Chains A and B, each alone.
Chain A
Amino acid sequence: MAAIRSVQIPQADLATEDRGNLDLTVLVPVLLLVALGVSMVFSASIPMAALRESEDIYYYLKRELLFAAAGLTAMYWMTRVSMDAIRRHAGWLLALTFLFLTLLFFVGVRINGARSWLPIPGTNLLFQPSEMAKIVLVIVAARYFSKFPQGLSSWRRALPPFAVLGSTAALIAVQPDMGTAAVIVVAMLAYFHIAGAKLRHLGAAAAATLSLAGLMIWRNPYQLERITNFILRIKTPAEGDYHTTQSLIAMGSGGLTGYGYCGSIEKYFYLPAAITDSILAIIGEELGFITVSAVLALFAVLAWRGMTIAKNAPDRFSGLVAAGVTVTLVTQALLNIAVVTGSFPATGVPLPFVSYGGSSLLFSLIGVGLLLNVAARQPTARPQQGHL
């Protein structure tokens, strides 16, 4: 099995940070997802691109290829960087994230009602700090929790990570980007539990989150509407909200094998966010149940393999980073799939590796790079027994 899922470089030295094994069980699914994403972004963006003044149907494809190239480069770089250096710079990264999230209040670009993007000077590109926050929170929490291998014994010790998580999520929620905030909170709570937080800590945090969410819903009635729409739709499927209805029509009409590549009709302005959050519905419409279930399977492989890498990591920090990256990516994927299949109220969460968007792709691939970094340094000579 080991020979199949990893390339073994002879004379791998476990003690040094060399390239070691390239974990194909992670890399291949990720590359497949990125390839699928680029192809589907092209197909789904044709109607939108044709409406642009340039009428360049390759507009979004070109940009997505650029993002993929940048992301893969960053991923490669992350496989080579020293985990210790990352651990040491965690504080700076957190400060930078907070700076960006705060900057949004002043120079943020508003798209679809949410002020979630920073313009990158000198380019026509936008940067989404909340995507950066996902990975930085993983690193920061890994650093904190690795100091307490026995777990968080007291409320006082539990406070810092929950405070950082809470403030980050709050900054994202007020953009308002409830989807990303929800992903971060759910993923981090699970992650904190894996890292050593006690269930009562999680309970308290969940209670705080829910009350905060209640406040946000009260401030932004459209959030409530989405939830009531969702409940309505469960009762009478025909009545549901437009977004979910179109998503279901796209997937449902695709059937087992779909209309064929570029055959989607929902992408012609029926399905909102066709190239970003709803891309899976277009995949379902064009390539059918077979491909969508394959996407689900690829994320299942990532979940399982990511946790195995975390378990077998050479040190606790690396293990926590691997677990955090895995939890974050899988949570996003689950939430996205749940929304697209109408199993969860409509929320704007991209599907990692597949949805159009530079920041999402870049930081997802950076996360994968860290995962591969950890995987490369795990001891392969003997089966691991779980803890170090």
Chain B
Amino acid sequence: MKHIACIQIGRRGRVWCVVALAVLILLAARLWSIQITNHEEYRAEATKIRTRTWPISAPRGNIYDRNGNPLALNLKVHSVAADPELVDSPPDLAAQLQPLLRMPKRELESKLAPKEGVRYVRLRGSVDAPVALAVRNLDCQGVIVSTDWKRAYPRQRLAAPLLGFIGTEMKGLGGIEAALNDQLAGQDGEMLVLLDGRLPRSRSQIPDRTIISKQMLPGSSVHLTIDLDIQAIAEEELAAAVQRAQATGGTALVMNPANGDVLALAAYPGFDPNEFRTYPEETWVSRAVVSPYEPGSTFKVIMACAAIEESVMSAGETYVCGGTCKIGPHTIGCAPHGGTRAHGTVTLDDIIVQSCNTGMVRLALTLGPDRVHKWANRFGFGTKTGIELMGESRGILSRPADLSRTQLATIGFGQGISVTPLQLLSAYCAVANGGWRVSPRVVSTITHATGRVEHPARPAPVRILSSETCDRMRDLLVRAVEEGTAKAAQIPGRRLAGKTGTAQKPTPGKGFRAGKYVASLAGWAPADRPRLAVLVVIDEPQKGHYGGVVAAPAFRAICERSLAHLGVPPDGLSVRREIALARRRG
């Protein structure tokens, strides 16, 4: 059955088939231009719209005391913010957020209201994890919930000036936080995140596509030499002493004389580093490190050591104290409040024990400017101790050529020279430990995120005194406690070495003024096998002003309680005997 005039399906079909194939070839060419020729541009465009670089914030290292008690930690906090441009209806969103954030609705509304160029408004700085989750689950457009680290100081005011605090962007601004900021901060990482296309509503990361482009390195943890308990004792007793004397402030310092480890560094008034902004700036610093003062009689120990080492006064030699002496136009008395109190005929030992000013003037003048300067320098005055804290003062020690006769005389009893409490107590440590100058330090170890424990190098002790000088000095300072000016520091059953100081406080431009004193007591305990070197400085006491009155009770309490805490048995009692006594008692 052939139809001559039939429309041929095949022929017309072929025509259309060729048309289709031609279109396919054109489309293939187009495909080539998209996928091969312009591939790089499209890939760049794709990367641009999808890829974001997000920081991975490194947790800051913790700070611990020598026994591993945490002093500074990180808390995970959640914050809620908004992008006002993406918020559909500020009143509706405010109504939804109000019960969760517990903020006034009006405040929320005004924060959410669109403002020109404002893409980020912080709604609430820190919220609990459940609240953060609830806000996130609202799935509201324009609401940003982020998680971050917050620095927390669980012991609040304890050791606050030493620890310091954190400013914005987690940067340490004081104390250890600032000094060891580089180690504590760690290194923030970076991740390349691929975001999905749900624009602009709640874009989120595409799972399993995040690339860590820069590894985050957590901050190193720092173990301090501080003993939390001794620190607490020192702060408590210092506060009590300051309040008792109605003083303006004070500082207490406890060190291990054997190696210079700072066991407690207390300042009063203190502050809470969690809310440092609410405290005056002058409370933020460790005064024992940054604020030099005129030490007064506590400095006599240094001059006396120099005198013994230099043999300026032989053992039998005596000096007659008339109560005052005249240096140029100035009269120097043996009592700081201007009265006279003649010590009579005294030996070098008596000068120390009875804290005779005129005797010390005589010694200083005999030593002369070069030797006074040399010995002050040898003990570490006039230079920084190198403790791991920022803003350390070197004190004020004039060069020998610049020392006037008056100044030389006053240095003998600790006026006309400025030292930091840390310098002074370090010098005492040298006397206590048998003549070795030790470098004070507060950082015991630094534990890195890799697990490596770093023991910061410490300078080797330098012998600056003979052990004979030290033994003699110790006996003198024990006598000072037992029969001299520091009687109030006595602890029954324990031998203590200590020296009081009552310095007149110079007023800038006006010289020394009566009525403003710095009362202090420096020493160590137990006297023969020293475990603690302690310095208590009370600034401008109103009730009483002698170091032996104002500072001695605090010194005594710190020594007594700290020795008990360390388990140091009373002198003359062996452990065995103590156990036997305890057994007998029951």
Genuine A/B complex = yes
In the complex, chain A residues 265-303 whose Cβ is within 8 Å of any chain B Cβ: 265-266, 268-271, 284, 288-289, 292-293, 296, 299-300, 303
Confirm or deny: B30 has a beta carbon within 8 angstroms of a beta carbon on chain A: yes
A-side interface size class: 35 or more
Do A196 and B197 touch (CB < 8 A)?
no
Do B20 and A248 touch (CB < 8 A)?
no
Residues of chain B within 8 A (CB-CB) of A149 are 3, 6-7
Residues of chain B within 8 A (CB-CB) of A47 are 196
A334-B24 CB under 8 A given contacts A256-B35, A265-B206, A289-B35? yes
Do A252 and B2 touch (CB < 8 A)?
no
Give Cα A247 to B288, complex, Å: 69
> What's the nearest-Cβ distance from chain A to residue B363, in Å?
85
Do B42 and A251 touch (CB < 8 A)?
yes
Encoded as 1 (CB less than 8 Å from any A CB) or 0, chain B from 190 to 220 comes to 0000101110000000100100000000000
Do A253 and B23 touch (CB < 8 A)?
no
A75-83, A94-102, A313-321 - the one binding chain B: A313-321
- B2, B10, B39, B42: residue with the most chain A Cβ atoms closer than 10 Å: B10
Please, which residue of chain B has its CB at the minimum distance from the CB of A269?
A: B197
Do A293 and B28 touch (CB < 8 A)?
yes
Confirm or deny: B31 has a beta carbon within 8 angstroms of a beta carbon on chain A: yes
Give Cα A234 to B36, complex, Å: 19
> What's the nearest-Cβ distance from chain A to residue B24, in Å?
5
Confirm or deny: A12 has a beta carbon within 8 angstroms of a beta carbon on chain B: no
Q: Which of A251, A299, A311 is within 8 Å of B9, CB to CB? A: A311
B43-51, B349-357, B385-393 - the one binding chain A: B43-51
Please, which residue of chain B has its CB at the minimum distance from the CB of A255?
A: B39
> What's the nearest-Cβ distance from chain B to residue A369, in Å?
20
B11-19, B262-270, B448-456 - the one binding chain A: B11-19
Do B27 and A343 touch (CB < 8 A)?
yes
Confirm or deny: A246 has a beta carbon within 8 angstroms of a beta carbon on chain B: yes
Do A193 and B24 touch (CB < 8 A)?
no
- B2, B16, B21, B43: residue with the most chain A Cβ atoms closer than 10 Å: B16
Do B39 and A311 touch (CB < 8 A)?
no
Do B3 and A387 touch (CB < 8 A)?
yes
Give Cα A364 to B371, complex, Å: 109
Please, which residue of chain A has its CB at the minimum distance from the CB of B209?
A: A265
Q: Which of A151, A265, A299 is within 8 Å of B7, CB to CB? A: A151
Do A269 and B198 touch (CB < 8 A)?
yes
Do A248 and B194 touch (CB < 8 A)?
no
Do B20 and A254 touch (CB < 8 A)?
no
Do B35 and A307 touch (CB < 8 A)?
no
Do B43 and A193 touch (CB < 8 A)?
no
Interface of A is mostly: helix
Do B34 and A252 touch (CB < 8 A)?
yes
Residues of chain B within 8 A (CB-CB) of A289 are 31-32, 35-36
Q: Which of A194, A255, A265 is within 8 Å of B12, CB to CB? A: A194
Give Cα A266 to B13, complex, Å: 38
Do A323 and B13 touch (CB < 8 A)?
yes
Tell me the number of A-to-B contacts counted with CB atoms below 8 Å: 152
Do A334 and B27 touch (CB < 8 A)?
yes
Do B30 and A330 touch (CB < 8 A)?
no
Confirm or deny: A3 has a beta carbon within 8 angstroms of a beta carbon on chain B: no
Interface size for B (C-beta < 8 A) is 44
Give Cα A268 to B42, complex, Å: 17
Encoded as 1 (CB less than 8 Å from any B CB) or 0, chain A from 338 to 378 comes to 10011100000000000000000000000000000000000
Do B35 and A251 touch (CB < 8 A)?
yes
Do B8 and A386 touch (CB < 8 A)?
yes
Residues of chain A within 8 A (CB-CB) of B197 are 246, 266, 268-271
Do B9 and A195 touch (CB < 8 A)?
yes
Residues of chain A within 8 A (CB-CB) of B28 are 293, 296
Do B12 and A193 touch (CB < 8 A)?
yes
Give Cα A255 to B194, complex, Å: 19
Do A337 and B20 touch (CB < 8 A)?
no
Please, which residue of chain B has its CB at the minimum distance from the CB of A320?
A: B9
Confirm or deny: B38 has a beta carbon within 8 angstroms of a beta carbon on chain A: yes
Give Cα A190 to B15, complex, Å: 10
Confirm or deny: A249 has a beta carbon within 8 angstroms of a beta carbon on chain B: yes
Confirm or deny: B275 has a beta carbon within 8 angstroms of a beta carbon on chain A: no
In the complex, chain A residues 50-101 whose Cβ is within 8 Å of any chain B Cβ: none
Q: Which of B9, B27, B35, B45 is within 8 Å of A337, CB to CB? A: B27
Residues of chain B within 8 A (CB-CB) of A261 are none
Residues of chain A within 8 A (CB-CB) of B20 are 300, 303, 330-331, 334
Residues of chain A within 8 A (CB-CB) of B11 are 386
A307-B27 CB under 8 A given contacts A252-B35, A270-B196? no
- B12, B35, B39, B196: residue with the most chain A Cβ atoms closer than 10 Å: B35
- A252, A265, A269, A288: residue with the most chain B Cβ atoms closer than 10 Å: A252
> What's the nearest-Cβ distance from chain A to residue B336, in Å?
81
Encoded as 1 (CB less than 8 Å from any A CB) or 0, chain B from 31 to 71 comes to 11011101101110110011000000000000000000000
B residues bordering A, Cβ < 8 Å? Answer: 1-3, 5-14, 16-17, 19-21, 23-24, 26-28, 30-32, 34-36, 38-39, 41-43, 45-46, 49-50, 194, 196-198, 206, 209
Known: A249-B46, A253-B46. 15 other contacts (CB 8 A): A149-B7, A195-B9, A249-B42, A249-B49, A251-B35, A252-B38, A252-B43, A255-B35, A266-B197, A293-B28, A311-B10, A323-B9, A343-B30, A386-B10, A388-B1
